[in-house]
């Protein structure tokens, strides 16, 4: 049985991600995208958040909302490490981008510059 404080914390986390309507549903009834959003909503209080492809399975509006949440968490003093394949999202929302090719770092730095480098790498490959 969860406490009233736990229930308030969960309700607040779900409201932050506009997921209040999911509160009464079982976890097994949620889609992949809904599950991902609930996980992030519940992890907001962590000092470090590591997310592997958190935007996979989300529609563009929810991708942007999730990345905006990550920015707010970082601005509030949290650390957020995200792996993405969507370089446009990385360029728009990330402070630093590290590009990997076959497990090796091929670029590291400010996102706009690094994402341009990635486009150059792809066009020469």
Question: What does the DSSP assignment read for 16-40?
Answer: HTT-GGGTTS-GGGS-HHHHHHHHH
Q: Where does the pLDDT of residue 82 fall: very low under 50, low under 70, confident under 90, or very high at 90 and above?
A: very high
Q: Does pLDDT of 112 surpass 80?
A: no
Model's pTM, two decimal places? 0.69
Q: What is the pLDDT of residues 41-54, one digit of tens each?
A: 777 778 898 999 98
Q: Of the candidates 63, 116, 71, 120, which has an alpha carbon nearest to the alpha carbon of residue 95?
A: 71
Check if the beta carbon of residue 89 is closer than 8 Å to that of residue 69. Answer: no
Domains detected in the chain: 4-94 (3.40.50.300)
Check if the beta carbon of residue 38 is closer than 8 Å to that of residue 14. Answer: yes
pLDDT for the residue 79 = 92
Q: Angle of helix 60-75 relative to helix 32-42, nearest 10 degrees?
A: 10
């Amino acid at each position: 049985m969860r406490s009233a404080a736990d229930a308030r914390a969960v309700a607040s986390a779900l409201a932050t991600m506009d997921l209040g309507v999911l509160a009464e549903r079982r976890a097994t009834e949620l889609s992949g995208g809904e599950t991902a959003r609930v996980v992030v909503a519940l992890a907001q209080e962590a000092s470090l958040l590591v997310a592997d492809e958190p935007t996979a399975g989300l529609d563009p509006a929810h991708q942007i909302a999730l990345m905006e949440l990550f920015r707010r968490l970082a601005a509030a003093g949290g650390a957020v490490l995200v792996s993405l394949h969507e370089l446009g999202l990385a360029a728009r929302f990330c402070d630093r981008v590290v590009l990997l090719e076959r497990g090796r770092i091929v670029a590291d730095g400010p996102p706009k510059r690094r994402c341009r480098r990635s486009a150059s790498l792809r066009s020469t490959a």
